[in-house]
Structures are given as C-alpha cells and as structure tokens.
Structure 1
Amino acid sequence: MSPKTLTGAELQLDDGPAREAELFLVDGNNLAYRAFFALPEELATSDGFSTNALLGFTNMLFKLLTD
C-alpha cells in the first residue's frame, strides 16, 4: 500500500475537548431602555453627556457572558 496524502479538508486536528458554541440573541433596545431608567441620571461625563444607559447596558451584557 502506498501512503495517502490528505488534503486540508480531510485533516483533523485534535484541539482538546470539543466546546459547545453559544449564541446569544439580545434585544438591545429593551436593554438600553431598562438601563437608562435603572441607574441615576447623575452618571454623566464632565460635558454633561448621560452615560447611565451605556454603563447599565454594558453591565447587563457582561453579566450575560460571565454567568
């Protein structure tokens, strides 16, 4: 028997245990709305730009990814 040459499609690398892929569907408008009213309005930049929705939205996404 002669050795067989494998193409790229036939090669399988062992990367360790298989990890299940995760997909998150996020209703961004709803999260931003909730975050805006959940945090105090005093959260703002020195120019007065409100950042409460941004902080709350980011915290909720971070919690989703870490839990």
Structure 2
Amino acid sequence: MTSSLGMAQQLASLNSPSKDECHRKDSTVEIQACDSQRYQYADKQLNVIYSAAIKNLDEDRKAKLRDSPKRVD
C-alpha cells in the first residue's frame, strides 16, 4: 500500500509551470508547449493518485472497475 507520504513525494517530484507562466510566453507556439507541459503534469498526478487508490481495492472491486465502461461525458 502506498503511503500518503510516498504519494506526496511522487507528486512533489513532478514540475509544472503555472497558468500565468504559460500565458506570459511570447508566442502561441510557446504558450501551447507550456500548456502541454501543464496537461502532462496533471495526467501524471492523476496516474499517481489512481495507482495508489487502486492498490487499496480488493480483487472484486478491481475487477468491477476494470470491467466497467470507460465513458466520460
């Protein structure tokens, strides 16, 4: 089981520019690249949290989650 401290350390090791930092860039290309970094950071954060949460589920709940529809509206 991943501890809260372990999860916090993983999240702290990830770096992301702020929205303000991104929008102070000089060109659209730089802004988009910066926003892409922010997206990748958020995706990594979600993966760390999901991985920690899934480890706490029993096998029945893991199977239900795995077999459930992957739909986001």
- The TM-score range, normalised by the shorter chain, is 0.3 to 0.5
Mark the structure with the bigger radius of gyration.
1
Which protein, 1 or 2, shows the higher relative CO under an 8 Å CA cutoff with sep ≥ 6? 2
Structure with higher helix content: 2
- State TM-score, norm by structure 1: 0.37
